[in-house]
Structure 1
């Protein structure tokens, strides 16, 4: 029996040694490859270093909106955000008067698009918010991307009828 136990122990030790050597070989290959790829990616200098100075100028992202919002009306202004193609940004504004300033009021914005097929205004985008102020100018910034057509913005204040903007056309 002692010979059989010794043979099993010797073969187990041999297997463990083989696994250990294989792990060392793999780790060495990985480290060598990593060092090689890092060394190969270094930039080769072809001359003296050149200093480059970058300059930037500040460009306003939006147009200045000079009209004051009016309660019961939604105004929509186009923003000049410098996007090319069929990407248009807008800001919808209104004056919200809370009849009970001790309570908060929630409201919902909705951008609707005219569907010539169904001859109805269909929801395109929506957002919601709330305020606890007695009077507040509320605004919603929205973007229409690659979808020309007729749109309008609706503001629905909790407990009141929706207020709709004039329709506007998005063109590319």
Structure 2
């Protein structure tokens, strides 16, 4: 038993000594590299940059790009999104008035496209939503890609009449 313990102790001591020597070698190499790098590094020349600014007066007051949403109307504005070709983003806004304020109201947005072949408006995109508020300003952002033509946005509120936007043209 004693010889086995002595052998384990001697083996552990040898491993500890090896790890200590390896750590010492790594540390001295790191310190030597750092000293070499510091000795060879020269200071970089300083470059002075002078910045200037000028004041430009505002010639016209800032105006809001999109009109405020109103009850019974749907307004549609193009949103510049940087898309190429026929890609286009739009924002439709309106005000939803809940016919029964004690209950939640559901509403649906519909983007319709004019079909010259059958001379009628056809559904292109649909989105559904809802609200528990008595009155709420709502917004929808439909996106179209590669399909020029005449469009309009409809907002159908459950228990109320459907309202439609003016038609607008998407062209490439």
Mapping of residues 59-74 of structure 1, within 5 Å: 65-74=65-74
Counterpart-to-counterpart distance in 1, 2:155 and 2:71: 11
- 5+ long unaligned stretches in structure 2: 1-63
TM-score (norm 2): 0.61
- Deviation of residue 99 (structure 1)? 2.8
Larger Rg: 2
Q: CA RMSD in A?
A: 1.1
Mapping of residues 42-121 of structure 1, within 5 Å: 65-121=65-121
- 5+ long unaligned stretches in structure 1: 1-63
Classify the secondary structure of the residue corresponding to 1:155: strand
- Deviation of residue 93 (structure 1)? 0.5
TM-score (norm 1): 0.61
Aligned length: 109
- Deviation of residue 116 (structure 1)? 0.3
Could you say which residue in structure 2 is the equivalent of 1:52? none
1:85-128 CA distances to partner (integer Å, 9 max, x unpaired)?
11010011101111322110000000000000000000000010
